[in-house]
Structure 1
Amino acid sequence: MSNVSYSYSNITVGLQYQGVLELVIFSCLTTVPACVSLLINGIMIFTLRSKPVFRDTCRYVLLYNLLVADTAQLAMSQILYLLALGRVRLTYPVCGMLSLLGNLTANISPLMLVVMSLERYVAVCYPLRHASIITIRNTTLAIFASWTVSLLNNLTRCLFLLQFPFDKLETLLMKDYCYDINWFPDSLRENYDKAYTVFLCVAAGLAVISSYTGVVLAARSASTDKVSALKARKTLLLHIVQLGLSLSSAIYYPLVFALARNVTRIVFVGVQNVFYVIIII
Structure 2
Amino acid sequence: MHDLLFGGFAPRYPTYRLIIIQILVTIFLCINMLLIGTFFKTESFHTSARYLLFALMLMSDSFLLFMSDIMVVCTSLGFTMQVFVCVIFSTTVLLYNMVTPITLVAMTLERYAAICMPLRHAELCSTRSTVHCILIIHGISSVPCIIILSVFFASASLSIYKQNMVCTVNVFILYTWHNHLRSAVSQFFFLMMCIVICFSYYKIMKVANAASGESKKSTLRGLKTVILHAFQLLLCLIQLWCPFIEAATLEIDLNLFASVRYANYVIFFLASRCLSPLIYGLRDETFFLALKKFYRS
Common fold by TM > 0.5: yes
Question: Out of 262, 269, 280, which is 1:273 matched to?
Answer: 262
Mapped to 2, the partners of 1:179 and 1:162 lie a distance apart of: 20
Higher normalized contact order (CA 8 Å, seq sep 6+, divided by chain length): 1
The AA in structure 2 aligned to 1:141 is: H
Q: Is the 8 A contact 1:62 1:116 kept in 2?
A: yes
Over 3 Å counting, the alpha-carbon distance change for 1:249 and 1:222 in structure 2 is closer
The AA in structure 2 aligned to 1:38 is: L
Over 3 Å counting, the alpha-carbon distance change for 1:183 and 1:127 in structure 2 is closer
Q: Is the 8 A contact 1:10 1:81 kept in 2?
A: no
The AA in structure 2 aligned to 1:251 is: W
Mapped to 1, the partners of 2:123 and 2:10 lie a distance apart of: 56
Question: Out of 220, 231, 235, which is 1:241 matched to?
Answer: 231
Q: Is the 8 A contact 2:250 2:256 kept in 1?
A: no
Aligned-CA RMSD value: 2.3
Q: Note if 1:207 corresponds to 2:196.
A: yes
Q: Is the 8 A contact 1:89 1:178 kept in 2?
A: yes
Q: Note if 1:232 corresponds to 2:222.
A: yes
Equivalence map 1:1-281=2 (5 Å): 12=9, 15=12, 23-160=14-151, 161-166=153-158, 168-169=159-160, 172-174=162-164, 176-182=165-171, 184-222=173-211, 225-262=215-252, 264-281=253-270
Greater fraction helix: 2
Q: State the number of aligned residues.
A: 265
Q: Is the 8 A contact 1:58 1:139 kept in 2?
A: yes
Mapped to 1, the partners of 2:10 and 2:94 lie a distance apart of: 23
The AA in structure 1 aligned to 2:232 is: Q
Mapped to 2, the partners of 1:181 and 1:52 lie a distance apart of: 41
TM-score norm. by structure 1 comes to 0.87
- Give the aligned partner of residue 19 of structure 1: none
Q: Is the 8 A contact 1:219 1:229 kept in 2?
A: yes
Over 3 Å counting, the alpha-carbon distance change for 1:222 and 1:231 in structure 2 is closer
- Give the aligned partner of residue 3 of structure 1: none
The percent identity for this pair of structures is 24
Q: Is the 8 A contact 2:10 2:75 kept in 1?
A: no
List gaps (5 residues or longer) in structure 1.
1-5, 16-21
Identify the range of structure 1 (148-157 vs 209-218) with the bigger mean alpha-carbon deviation: 148-157
2:167 partner SS: coil
Over 3 Å counting, the alpha-carbon distance change for 1:125 and 1:87 in structure 2 is same
Mapped to 2, the partners of 1:131 and 1:14 lie a distance apart of: 50
TM-score norm. by structure 2 comes to 0.83
